[in-house]
Each structure stands twice: as C-alpha cells, then as structure tokens.
Amino acid sequence: MLEIINAAVKQLTAVGADKAKIGLILGSGLGDYAECLENKRFVNYADIKGYPVSEVHGHKNRFVVGELYGKTVIAMQGRFHYYEGYPQNVLSLGVRTMKMLGVEKLLVTNAAGGVNLGYKSGTLMLISDHINLSGSNPLIGKNLDQFGPRFPDQSNVYDKALRTQLKKLAADNDVELEEGVYLMMSGPCYETPAEIRMARTIGADAVGMSTIPETMVAAHCGIKVVGISLITNMAAGVLDQPLSHEEVNETAAASAIRFTNLVNLILEKLF
C-alpha cells in the first residue's frame, strides 16, 4: 500500500502537486470541473504502478493538478468504487496520496439519489453526516499509525465550521443548498424501494455508492472534508419510474453550471 502511495507522490510532486493544500474528488458526471483549473498537469492512474483504474463510464481516471484563484489544487477526475471489486482500503489510496503531498482540505462530490421527499433532481446537498451501510470500512486491516489512530473519532467528519461558513456563503451568493445525511450502499444495483424507505426512516436524505470510504480515510488522517451531493434522480420507489446511469449523467450535465458555481465558491472563498 505504502509503496503505491509513494510512487504516486513522486510522480505528482514532479508536476508540482506538493504545493497543493486543496484536494478535490469529482464524482460521476462531475469530472469536467477539473477543466476549470489553469495550467493543468495530468497524471493518469494507469501510469502509477499499482494504482487502480475505474471502469465506470464518465470517469477519466487521472489526477489533474492546476491552479485556481491563485491556489494549487489536486483533483481526482474519476474515483474508484467498492462495487468495482476493490477492497475499501484500496479506495483510500487517492486520499492518502493527497495527505502525503500536503493537502489540508478536501472537497468530495458525488451524484446521489434523493431520499428526502423535499428534494428534486438537480438539488445540491451539503453533506452534514453519513451512514455507512456499504458493508465494509476502508480502515479495516493493520492501522497505519502515521496516518491516524486505530479507533478514529467520527463526530465531526464533515467539518462543522466549514459547513457553517459555506451555508452563509451560499445564502449570500444566492446558491440554493440543502443540507443532509448521505447514506452509502455498496451498489452496483440501485436500491430497492423498501431499502429507500428504510434509508428515510433511519435519517438519510440522499443515497449513493461512494464518498464515505474516502471521507473516513481523510478524517482519519486529519484532512478537513466538505462533501457535496448532486441529486441526479429521486431514489427508487419515489417516482413511478426505473433508475438508470444515463439519467444520472444527464442530470449531472444539465446541472453543470450550478455545480461549477458552487465549487468555485468553495475554492475561492471557503478553502
């Protein structure tokens, strides 16, 4: 594990990623945001020895390093998923690579299904907390003490001070932003209507197949996390229609401007 991280750190340092204090993980259909960075440098996951590659359509599988608002940013354009068959500790590689490069704040984004009946396709949700029903945990296995403790606290995984500031920034800039709890299931099947009713009963507002492993690993090593879900569809059983990955990508594309505005706000004024 450490060898793979070290190989990634070396290649990314060669393109100046060691100046980045800000990390960005771009979810399904949201990867285009990385094109906003100036003076872009790329490192493909496939060119880093031992690094996994996501096979999900819409993921570009590379690190993008660049500048925005005078700050160096390292973005993952495409992430790995548990349902692709990787153990969850493998999902931690990108975040730990960022930690070793010096990243202090991480924005994680995803496409998610709306569980909260007040949401609609296109809603932007600030993640306040999460429920891990993925069936695993990225910190299972030998603890790497240099990253954090064996039994990490999870009471402020999505940094409360940053959330408070972001809600004010969003309101001041006329950006509509809900706040809610993200629940992760393993996928790759979308959930059943019964699972979504359960998710709602236990306090979830949105459901997806990613983000929680990366967030847990980031919190473990002391990176401050802000999480944004784009609700690309209402979750199973809410509307009388089947769910599809095409719908997810279409909504992501249709919401690109609002998503970009929110991420710009975070990178310019919050981070």
Q: Which is nearer to ligand HPA, 72 or 210 (CB)?
A: 210
Report which of 67, 91, 68, 64 is spatially closest to residue 76, judged by C-alpha positions: 64
212 binds ligand HPA (CB under 6 A): no
Other beta carbons less than 10 A from residue 141's beta carbon = 11
Look up 209 and say whether it is catalytic.
yes
Look up 182 and say whether it is catalytic.
no
Distance in Å, CB of 4 to ligand HPA, minimum: 27
Pick the catalytic residue from 1, 83, 136, 198. Answer: 83
The correct pick among 31, 52, 58, 113 for binding ligand HPA (CB under 6 A) is 113
The correct pick among 64, 68, 111, 170 for binding ligand HPA (CB under 6 A) is 111
Report which of 95, 115, 122 is spatially closest to residue 106, judged by C-alpha positions: 95
Look up 104 and say whether it is catalytic.
no
Q: Are 64 and 42 in contact (CB under 8 A)?
A: yes
Distance in Å, CB of 11 to ligand HPA, minimum: 30
Q: Which is nearer to ligand HPA, 8 or 209 (CB)?
A: 209
Q: Which is nearer to ligand HPA, 100 or 243 (CB)?
A: 243
Look up 57 and say whether it is catalytic.
no
Look up 84 and say whether it is catalytic.
yes
> Segment 120-149, which members bind ligand HPA (CB under 6 A)?
none
| Catalytic annotation, residues | 28, 59, 81, 83-84, 111, 209-210, 233, 245
Q: Kindly list the residues in this chain that would bind ligand HPA in the complex (CB under 6 A).
A: 111-113, 190-191, 207-209, 232-233, 235, 243, 248
